[in-house]
Every structure is written in structure tokens, then in C-alpha cells.
Amino acid sequence: MILQCSNCGAPLQTERVSGKVRCRYCRAVSAVGSLQTQHRVTPPWYRPPPVWIPPPQYNLPSTPLRAQLGVELSVFMVVVLVFVAPLIALAIRSAIDSLSEPRTRTSSQEEPRQRAKTKPTSAPLEEVWPVGTFRCSSGTHSFRFVQSELANAPIIHAEGTCVVMLDHAALSGTGIVAEGNAKIVLDHSDIHAKATFVTANGNAEVDVNRSHVALSTGASLFDLHNNAVVVLQGSPIDGACRATVADNATASVTPAIPCALGKGAFARVTGLTSPVQQRGAKRR
Ligand SMILES: [Zn+2]
């Protein structure tokens, strides 16, 4: 099962149903029952991210937190710490004492080994992104520098209360889908949409900032319904724009782009100018 740290938002993998867990990233200790569940069963593709950048809503410094070992605090571990650890320490000390060699030599031998261990974690950060569609229904999921190319499937399908944050992603597929109260935030990313870039309904929200969107021929930019809100800022679009914004949905695009728009009665649209209007504006 995967829970969500209430202090930094990181995923916490555990099989415990009660007791306490310690966050690998921020070291906060929380009662299992008090944490939000991201996945009842740990998905087969899940790998704990090597580092975690707390999303802005957690009010922590946005410096990456490195994963540390020792995720769980349990009664068993307390027993180990209280009773077994002193015995081990005694055994180690007597072993060291029995070796009459100077200690400086052992410490100089340890050092290169430790350095070799820490080297891989300082390599470029890469978080785990599934091979197929990224699906979620709860929790906050942050990804940086991920890449994926899907022939005929959505890149992201977020529903429920899921929050997906992508930074510097390069993704290709039919598009992204947001439903329910889901929220998707794309920053500095490259998206190639083959069908519809953003399909959103319910109260879903999609924010696209400083990204680049390529639409395949015949693909549409938005298909928005109900109370969905999509905000596109500083994100150039490649390809002929078509969009549907219906019901109470809101689409806001800055700077404005020409787009063939199918607009519902209560839809709010800014920044999608009809190709005809643009021609008129130019004449002035
Ligand atoms: Zn944490």
C-alpha cells in the first residue's frame, strides 16, 4: 500500500495497517491511520523516487529530499533498538578491541567504500514514470524529466482528488484526461497530443505553463465540460487549433491564439480568438 506523507507529500510504501511510519524523505513520523492512501495495493510499477521535491502546498523548502533507509518504525524495530543494538555494539567493540591494529587503518579502508555507495545517488535525478498511461485517483504525484511515447493511449488519466505535477517532461500520446477534482500542472514540458490535448470535466483543473504543445493533424486542443478549468500560459501551440468548451467550463489562454472554437452557452473562454475575428482585427 502507498500512503502519503502529511508533512511533505511524498509517497510512503508500507504494508502496515496500524502503528507508525517514518517518511523516508522528511523523516516525519505519522500514525498510519492518519495518512491519506494513494494506492491500497502497491502498483507493480511503483519504485520509491530517489528524491522528493515537496510540492508548494506543503510550505517546505523546495530543495530535493533524498530517500533514506528505515521507512518504518514498528514495535519490532523498537525492540531491536533497545535490546539487540547494545548487544551488537558490544560485539563490534570487542571485535575491534581484539584487533590490535590501529583504528586509523580501518577507517581509511571504510572511506572509499562509502564514497562509492553515495556516488550513484548524486547522478541525474530520474523519477519513475509508468510505461503506459499514468493513472491516479488520489495523492500528489510529482515528476521531473520524464519521457514517454504512447501510440494510442492517454498520457495521463487523473481522477478523484489526484494531483499530478510535471516539470520538464517530454510526453506523447492521445492527450491528457482530468476528471472529478483532479488537478494536473505542467511546467516547461513538451507535449505531443494525437487526439485531444486536454479532455477535462467535473471540477478538474489543468494548468500548463511555459510548455510546448504539438497537435497532430485533426487533433483538438481542448474538450472541456462541466466546471473544468484549463489555463494555458506562455505555451506555444503547433498545429491547427480546434477546441470545444462547453457547459460551465473555463479556458484561458495567454497569449491569445487563433482557434476554431465550439463554445457552449455558459462556457468562459479567453484567449482563443476565432480565425475570422483575427483577420478582422488585422485589418484595423
Ligand atoms: Zn515526508
Give buried/exposed letters for 220-230 (b at 16+ CB in 10 A, else e). Answer: bbbbbbebbbb
What does the alpha-carbon distance between residue 150 and residue 137 come to, in Å, rounded to a whole number? 21
Q: Among residues of the chain, what percentage have pLDDT more than 90?
A: 52
Report how far ligand 1's centroid is from the alpha carbon of 75 (Å): 21
The dihedral region occupied by 273, where left means phi > 0, alpha psi between -120 and 50, and beta the remainder, is beta
What does the alpha-carbon distance between residue 38 and residue 26 come to, in Å, rounded to a whole number? 18
Report how far ligand 1's centroid is from the alpha carbon of 6 (Å): 7
Report how far ligand 1's centroid is from the alpha carbon of 36 (Å): 12
**pLDDT tier at 54, thresholds 50, 70, 90:** confident
User: Which ranges constitute the DSSP H helices of the chain?
Assistant: 75-79, 85-98, 103-118, 275-283
Note the pLDDT tens digit of each residue in 60-100: 887 888 888 654 445 455 555 566 666 667 766 766 565 54
Report how far ligand 1's centroid is from the alpha carbon of 71 (Å): 10
Which residues have C-beta within 8 Å of that of residue 264, sequence separation ≥ 6?
244, 245, 246, 247, 249
Domain positions in the chain are 1-100+110-125, 134-283
**Does residue 230 have a pLDDT over 70?**
yes
